[in-house]
Every structure is written in structure tokens, then in C-alpha cells.
A = this chain, B = another copy of it.
């Protein structure tokens, strides 16, 4: 497998974004080969860090509220975790029966979370948040929130947004190279490995 970055290179390396594969993985040329970025893991990691740092995520008020339906379990989780859900950027109002109106969604420059992210977040909070990593109730809740607020596979991301996220990643500590659940955010394939794959011995 490609090299996982344990720590960022000194300073921000020169990266040239080439594009996106499978509406999920960004491809960039670095000074030393190829860099692959998982857009969900990258967004998740930045939102998780922002949550732990600021206690809340940015929100986008909706001109037209979105109606969603919650199960009994989700409604119970909403009551139990009202503050966390609000900090995540979701403003939710009961709208009769199982219907609820969403008046705001977690947002980041150039995009916003999907409304259905709330259902998944409530399911996870009801189940006691992510069982595995990280330690601590607050961290686990933050990880759940970040996951369900983040850009997902299949979400279109503009080149400007890719650049902004890559820049933000490289500005952060080494922890930024994995998402809160331990998955890699960024992998690099050094030129020497590409050469080996193509059976190139010399330059």
C-alpha cells in the first residue's frame, strides 16, 4: 500500500491538484510523486478538530426549511443530545408527529451537510456514539458529529474547496493525517514507488 504520512513534511509542500476519482479520492502531484486524499476523511478530520477547538461547527441557515422524519429512537436521542446536535450546526424543530423541520445545517465554505446526516447522527448518538476510537465521551460525540456533517463520497467538491481543505490539512499537526476513527486522510505514492511499479530502474 502507499505510504501513510505519519507527520507532515516541513512546511507546506507544492501540490498540484489533478482531479478526483470516483467522486471521493482527490489526486494531486507533489514534489515527489502522487498524493491521494479521501474527501470524506479530510473533511471529517477538519470538522472534528474545529469541534474540539471551538465547541461548535459553522451553520448555514436555510431559506426553505427541510422536513425530515425521525424514528422514536431518533427523537429520544434528539432530546438527550439537544446541545450536541445544535453545536453540530443542526437547528431542528418538531413539526407534528414524527415530522421535524431543519432550519440550519452544518456548513463549510462552499458546501453544507446533507439533511439526512441528522438521522444517521441521531442513530449513532442513540447507540452510544462510535464504539471504537477515540477516547472520551466528548471526543466520541465530536467524532460522530464530524462524520455526519462532513463531505461524503459522491458529494461534488469544487477545485477551490479541494485546495482550501488541502491547505488546512497541511497547516495542522501530524494527527491530521488520520480521521478521528483512524482511517488515513492522505496517502502518498513516492516517485520511487511509481518507478518500481513500471519496472523503471534508472531515470
Contacts and interface: CB of A to CB of B under 8 A. Distances in A.
Interface string A155-198: 00000000000000000000000000011100100010010111
Interface in A1-15: 1-2
Interface in A83-135: none
Which of the four size classes fits the interface of chain A? 20 to 34
Interface of A: 1-2, 16, 18-22, 25, 27, 29, 33-34, 36, 38, 41, 153, 182-184, 187, 191, 194, 196-200, 203
Contacts of A21: 18, 29, 33-34, 191, 194
Interface centre among A19, A25, A27, A198 (most CB of B within 10 A): A198
Contacts of A183: 198-200
Contacts of A18: 18-19, 21, 27
Contact of A25 (B22, B25, B198, B199): B198
